[in-house]
Structure 1
Amino acid sequence: MAISPEHQIYSELFADAPDMAVGFLRDLGVKVPDYDRSELTSCDLGHVDPVERRSDVTIMLRGKVHEDPLGKLMGIVVEVQRDDKERKRFTWPEYVAAMRSKHECPVTLLVICPRQNVADAYNAPIPLGHPGFVLHPLVLGLERIPVITDPAEVGRHPTLGVLSAAAHGPADPDVVKALHTGLDSIDQEMATKYIGYALHLLTDSNGQRALEELMMTETYEYTSAWTESLKAEGRTEGKAEGEANMLLLMLEVQDIEVTEEARERILGCTDSTQLKTWAIRSKNITRIDELFED
């Protein structure tokens, strides 16, 4: 079974910021040991069928263990689950046991559910059959993701800002504003990636429309690299030229390959209405030629 883009994005957010998983575990009441370093470790749990028998992200917390200053203190298996699948109740205990056996340290399972009804379904113990041998998944649904409306907080923890926007952005425009403004304070390449992640996770929601509007507007009170770039282009090259460049940015963050012919067509367009039509259409395409279909 192919991994969906949404699934991959959530996995990569936790891979980019392993300490974020620790924060959520502590919020869920887990006693996490003090550690000096968190790092990604092997996701291969010893099987040749990786789609079904491989965890999404595995994290190792390291610190002083006896004489080893960076010994293995605790492993974390992070699983992203978008649907309720009975099979997972059999594979998750295997992930935990396999990682514990491989690294010889305690291991905790954290399940990330982008849909609250799926989180509720998984929030139940999994008895393994042996007396007293029960796995209680630690499940993170939308309700447990914090509402972040402070751009400075997004700047400090951009991956958490993307999660917050995905969870609460459709209903709370202040979360989207904070994400848009806060990402201006981090590396531009990373900011572009996270804007693309947020646009995808917010697909077909008010949050997506709000974020696109922030990226396209010239007069919004929250200024950032995105809006300031558009303003500068609008003043020196005309409004249409600024909108054309913003459309190219939106295509870039969606990983749409833009041919030289398509680039010239977009940059050569002086019709602001046409450019806005293409910008709206761009969120539903997978190939650049689809942008120009009537």
Structure 2
Amino acid sequence: MVSSSHEAMHRIFQECPDLFSRVSEVLGVDFAPPTAVDILPTDLTETRPLERRVDTLLRFDTEEDGTFLLAVEAQGKKDPAKSASWMYYLTYLHSKYRLPVFLLVVCQDRSTAEWATRPVHIGNPKWASLTMRPFVIGPHNMPLITRTEEARKDPALATLAAITHADNRDADAILKAVSGALRETPEQLAYVLAEFIAQGLGGRPIASLWRKLMAVELSFFQSSVSEELREEGREEGREEGREIGRQEGQAAGLAKAILRLLDRHGVDVPSAARERITGCLDLELLDQWFDRALTATSVDELFADE
């Protein structure tokens, strides 16, 4: 089964294909920014019943480097069988499109990256008929971006760096830097990049920090994460609802979620306001308070315009 981390490591190149020109700088190879990029079908299946799919396939048009194809593969662990598959992808694509083809492998651990970097030869020591030399990106060579001003220069590169450094001991500083940069990034792009980071972190403990940053600092981000927090409250309410009724239970769960968000912000909640929240049974009003609690700095903001 394809993991969310796997998806994030290659799909970011579909959303931000020009990211490759900056990644190539990390690799020490100078590829000019593209003048045009096409996302091509990833199905490399032959006529015989053998299905082969590359993760992401892009065609770049550039002024300096001409037209070429880039196959992006996300690799989570060492897999000896992958080398043969990658070599097949390159030869098939070269035969089909008659264009130069490059392979970029994205990893999240150093040992897998080092394994993927090794050239693969077809032939024998006397003469290699074919040699594959992929580009490899991972925690061993991606920049460690821990300052917001640096992340702000290139949010897409900072996002990919955060994904590849998901297991770094400074991951919390990396995520805080990226979240600060995304606050000043156009909302549509910020939404996509934030979602990629959420996918790239997978089930790691640090993922909970990113959920909090998205819910609190990235207040514009109306995604599955804020809905997940809301649903957590509703789920708690369903449990309580078995005893005190469905609507009352959901209301109680949402009230708890609102109070948790305010507590995370360090917002002081007087007893009167706390009773007003916990005593409310209007789910629509509680949803409204929940949305305000994502960015509230005082309890008065919660009840504004009422």
- Tell me the TM-score range normalised by the shorter chain: 0.5 to 0.7
Query: How much does 1:20 deviate?
Result: 1.5
**Aligned partner (choices 116, 133, 136) of residue 136 of structure 1:** 133
| Aligned residue type for 1:36 | T
Match of 2:54 in 1: 55
Query: Counterparts of 2:258 and 2:230 in 1: how far apart (Å)?
Result: 23
Query: Counterparts of 1:268 and 1:61 in 2: how far apart (Å)?
Result: 51
Query: What stretches of structure 1 of length at least 5 have no aligned partner?
Result: 66-70, 218-223, 231-244, 278-294
Query: Counterparts of 2:49 and 2:18 in 1: how far apart (Å)?
Result: 25
Q: 1:192 to 1:127 in 2, by over 3 A?
A: same
Match of 2:184 in 1: 185
Match of 1:98 in 2: 92
Match of 1:116 in 2: 110
1:81–1:113 Cα contact (<8 Å) kept: yes
Match of 1:269 in 2: 256
Corresponding position: 1:249 with 2:246: no
Match of 2:121 in 1: 127
| Aligned residue type for 2:67 | L
Tell me the TM-score normalised to structure 1 length: 0.67
Task: Output aligned runs, 1:207-246, within 5 Å.
Answer: 207-215=206-214, 224-226=217-219
1:83–1:118 Cα contact (<8 Å) kept: yes
Match of 1:166 in 2: 163
For residues 122-159 of structure 1, give each alpha carbon's deviation from its aligned partner in whole angstroms, at most 9, with x where no partner exists. 22111112733211222212121112234355445333
Match of 1:38 in 2: 37
% identical equivalent positions: 22
Q: 1:206 to 1:267 in 2, by over 3 A?
A: closer
Match of 1:194 in 2: 193
- Secondary structure, in 3 states, of the residue corresponding to 1:139? strand
CA-based RMSD: 4.1
Q: 1:270 to 1:141 in 2, by over 3 A?
A: closer
1:196–1:253 Cα contact (<8 Å) kept: no
Say which one has the larger Rg: 2
Bigger mean CA deviation after superposition, 111-120 or 200-209: 200-209
Q: Which structure's relative contact order is higher, taking Cα pairs within 8 Å and 6+ residues apart?
A: 2
Corresponding position: 1:73 with 2:67: yes
For residues 199-236 of structure 1, give each alpha carbon's deviation from its aligned partner in whole angstroms, at most 9, with x where no partner exists. 3433565643443454566xxxxxx542xx79xxxxxx
Tell me the TM-score normalised to structure 2 length: 0.65
Q: 1:113 to 1:248 in 2, by over 3 A?
A: closer
Aligned length: 247
Query: How much does 1:92 deviate?
Result: 0.7
Query: How much does 1:32 deviate?
Result: 3.2
| Aligned residue type for 1:148 | I
1:47–1:54 Cα contact (<8 Å) kept: no
| Aligned residue type for 2:16 | A
1:115–1:142 Cα contact (<8 Å) kept: yes
Query: Counterparts of 2:2 and 2:47 in 1: how far apart (Å)?
Result: 17
- Secondary structure, in 3 states, of the residue corresponding to 1:144? coil
Bigger mean CA deviation after superposition, 19-28 or 48-57: 48-57
Match of 1:145 in 2: 142
Query: How much does 1:95 deviate?
Result: 0.7
Query: Counterparts of 2:143 and 2:70 in 1: how far apart (Å)?
Result: 21
- Secondary structure, in 3 states, of the residue corresponding to 1:18? coil
Q: 1:117 to 1:191 in 2, by over 3 A?
A: same
Match of 2:301 in 1: none
- Secondary structure, in 3 states, of the residue corresponding to 1:127? strand
Query: What stretches of structure 2 of length at least 5 have no aligned partner?
Result: 239-245, 265-306
